[in-house]
Amino acid sequence: MDVRVEHDTMGEVYVPADKYWGAQTQRSHDNFQIGTERMPDEIIRAFAILKKSAAMANAQLNNLDTDKANIIAGVCDEILSGALDAHFPLVVWQTGSGTQSNMNVNEVIANRGNEIAGKCLLHPNDDVNRSQSSNDTFPTAMSIAALLILEDHVLPALRGLQATLNDLADRYSGIIKVGRTHLQDATPITLGQEISGWASMLAHDDKYIVQSLDGLRELAIGGTAVGTGLNALPAFGDVTAEYISRLTGKQFVSSPNKFHALTSKDQFVFAHGALKALAADLMKIANDIRLLSSGPRCGIGEIFIPANEPGSSIMPGKVNPTQCEAVTMVAVQVMANDVAVGMAASQGNYELNVFMPVCIYNFLQSAKLLGDVMHSFDEHCVKGIRPNPDKIQSYLDESLMLVTALNPVVGYENAARIAKTAYNENLTLKEAAVRLGLLDEDTFDQYVRPEKMVGPIHA
């Protein structure tokens, strides 16, 4: 392998000749050969947005030569396009401040920029990292990446799935079926009402995620090493945040308290809590769908879901609720990630949190998985849900809990006698009521009408 010599304050290091990274990146690459989890692409892209914005802010504040700022901005555009992906090799399991990933970005920008300029124009620390520290750039990149993935990936998928559920709720509003509580038969409900509950869960999750975005809009940039802003101009943080807002089309501000911004990751705990709430609701929805579609002959079978692929390597013709299973596995992963995010955020010792890479890795994984699985679930399962009218009607006809409609007529205890007699003697509710002498057939038919039981009594 062809190599070149790079140096840092600790001495010389051999670096692959075809890579733009420098000595500090190479040291990290050699010293942290741990796992296969690379720093997420979303963080590298967020760093490119940040470094471009910082260069433009420094130039505006007369703190960086315009030619240097333009070269930095150009390389950042290359990073954002994906053209330099091969030059960011570092793993998540590195220094807890993310310093080495910050330097990886600085070195790539400097070396590629110098290649473009045809001369040694940029220094990774003095120019690309001017007015910055890893301690404020890494949390800033975290916030940018987190907000972008929530607004551009999670929320669109969530809203698409919710729209599908709302459509199904309207379409099946007239189909009356057995309700179930405690896994036991309960009073009637419409299929549309049941599905509307799922849609409302997602509407609430949408609200929770949107509420969490405000904390992510506050950026640590301008705090430098410990939050004091040492070596940065007073306006640098605000001006950089303005450029970041312009480049992303999202609203960001420089945090009013940089000491909080460097040491606390509470905003990620709060935002990931909203993702956990979404995961919990998706788990419930997916479980309901796969139970209601269970069978096809020996389960509940009240709804049909699309048959996407063979379900067994030994049982011919078997089809499984695989999309539901994918949703529930993602939900489990998100719930596990929530523990890691919370634990990482609790480790803000003194002026800096040093669990940032693992915090943002788990956060971004949760967001990516949730967005992906909601889109897949919507396209390959939920849009194809159809009722099984015959099965739904047969269960409704057999339900003993229709007797609840007789509470105002014969009282709770007599209604219970009717239900128990019907169950024990294998009778219909009507037959049991007549045999007990509590009602005649016409009176029974007047009150036990499932279509009148899916709303308040005045309905």
Active-site amino acid positions: 182, 312
DSSP annotation of 2 reads -
CA–CA separation, 32 and 89 (whole Å): 11
Encoded tokens for 88? 């960011």
CA–CA separation, 454 and 233 (whole Å): 66
Residues in CB range of 43: below 8 A, 6 or more apart: 101, 141, 142, 145, 360, 364
Number of helices (H), then strands (E), belonging to the chain: the values are 17, 8
CA–CA separation, 363 and 337 (whole Å): 7
Of 51, 111, 55, nearest to 84 (Cα)? 111
Encoded tokens for 205? 């999750």
| Residue ranges in 127-257 assigned as alpha helix (H) | 134-149, 155-171, 191-217, 236-248
- State the pairing for strand pair 218-219/253-254: parallel
- State the pairing for strand pair 303-304/386-387: antiparallel
Q: By the 8 A CB rule, do 20 and 76 touch? A: no
* Residue 280, strand partner residues: none
CA–CA separation, 271 and 215 (whole Å): 8
172 exposure class (CB count in 10 Å sphere: 0-12, 13-18, 19+): buried
Encoded tokens for 363? 């956060």
Give SS3 for 14.
strand
